[in-house]
Amino acid sequence: MLRKSIYAAIVACFCLLLFVGAKASANRSNDPSPIDRLAEMIKAGKMETDDISYAEMFYLAGGATSEEAHEKAVEYYKEYDALYAKAIEAGFDVDDEEVKSYVESLKEMSKTAANSEDVKKIISAYPSEDDYWKHMLEVYKKQLPVQKYVAWLDETGRKP
């Protein structure tokens, strides 16, 4: 159960912050996709930089009510922050160069990813592409230690 939560948190964060990803099928063919809704929210100035608000925006774009979005975002970040603390405690920290290199590789992957059009929509919602990638540098300062920690747990068969 906890392992599923860990993987869900990692996958959700990755999707949330870069490859928001696979489009949920809309109830009607003319309904905007979650990606389109998220991009519109960012363009409209509803982009929040704190983690909870950003996660709420993601859940709202996916069709959750405000209350559901808040509850899901808070729960998600409780788990995520706990994982981050454990990762740092276990020695899985990163330096600026490692983060920069990782984000550069994401830039390259985003150009050829199966959902590259979705990625472009999210990037275009930021004031500039540079602003988007600067945001990703901040995001992955915290995300990379978690990714390393979870990979280590998986490789060694350990539990958090």
pLDDT for 108-144, tens place per residue? Answer: 999 899 988 888 888 888 889 998 899 899 989 999 9
pLDDT at 60 over 90: no
Mean pLDDT over residues 15-43, rounded? 50
**Residue 153, number of CB atoms within 10 A of its CB:** 19
Q: Which long-range contacts (CB under 8 A, 24 or more apart) does 86-90 make?
A: 86/149, 86/160, 87/145, 87/146, 87/148, 87/149, 88/145, 90/149, 90/152
Q: What are the backbone angles phi and psi of residue 20, rounded to the nearest 5°?
A: -25, -30
| pLDDT for position 52 | 77
Contact 17, 106 (CB under 8 A): no
Q: What is the pLDDT of residue 123?
A: 87
- Which parts of the chain fold into alpha helices (H)? 2-17, 34-41, 51-61, 66-89, 96-112, 116-125, 129-156
Give the pLDDT of residue 107: 94
- Region for 21 from its dihedrals, namely left if φ exceeds 0, alpha if ψ lies in -120 to 50, beta otherwise: left
pTM reported for the whole predicted model:
0.67
Q: What is the pLDDT of residue 88?
A: 94
Check residue 32 and report its DSSP letter. Answer: P
| Between 76 and 50, residue with greater pLDDT | 76
Give 64-72's long-range contacts (Cβ < 8 A, gap of 24+). none
